[in-house]
């Protein structure tokens, strides 16, 4: 008896187990890819949606007991929030930190604020902005 006579005709008795496993892997891979894409989209939306206020330091002018900081704030119309600014001495120690509030209907605000310091500050650093 040869091996050719014991083989079953191809395609006559349904799919082989390898073909079924391949199909299951494709289905599982597609489902996982769609779920991952949805999760990335959800996180991206919430990251963008919560950042209603942002700012940058345009310039600053150090003094003996304060630092004048020119901030440019961008926010959603009607959003309220605050930005935290700090100043450091020449040796790197923090000499001043304050929160400055921004509200109103404008979407772009240019404002010069005064950050009081305990000793001469040499920097003005924006630490971040938050809604609320």
Answer yes or no: are the C-beta atoms of 84 and 98 closer than 8 Å: yes
Alpha-carbon span 26 to 37, nearest angstrom: 16
List the one residue out of 102, 97, 70 whose CA is nearest residue 86: 97
Q: Which CATH architecture has domain 53-131?
A: Sandwich (2.60)
**How many Cβ atoms are within 10 Å of 115's Cβ, its own excluded?**
21
Alpha-carbon span 21 to 81, nearest angstrom: 55
Residues 81-115 pLDDT 10s: 899 999 999 999 999 999 999 888 888 999 999 99
Residues 30-87 pLDDT 10s: 999 999 999 998 888 776 666 578 899 999 999 999 999 999 999 888 888 899 999 9
pTM greater than 0.75: no
Residue with tokens 């938050």: 130
Structure tokens that stand for 25 in this block: 């892997």
List the one residue out of 132, 94, 131, 91 whose CA is nearest residue 115: 94
Sheet containing strand 53-62, edge to edge, reads: 53-62, 66-75, 108-116
């Amino acid at each position: 008896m040869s091996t050719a006579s014991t083989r079953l005709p191809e395609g006559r008795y349904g799919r082989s187990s390898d073909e079924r496993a391949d199909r299951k892997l494709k289905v599982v891979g597609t489902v996982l890819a769609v779920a991952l894409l949805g999760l990335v989209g959800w996180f991206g939306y919430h990251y963008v949606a919560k950042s209603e206020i942002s700012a940058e330091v345009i310039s600053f002018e150090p003094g003996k007991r304060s630092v004048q900081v020119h901030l440019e704030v961008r926010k959603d119309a009607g959003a309220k929030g605050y930005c935290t600014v700090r100043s450091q001495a020449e040796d790197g120690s923090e000499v001043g930190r304050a929160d400055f509030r921004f509200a109103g209907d404008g979407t772009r605000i240019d404002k010069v604020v005064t950050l009081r310091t305990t000793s001469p500050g040499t920097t003005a650093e924006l630490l971040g902005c938050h809604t609320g």
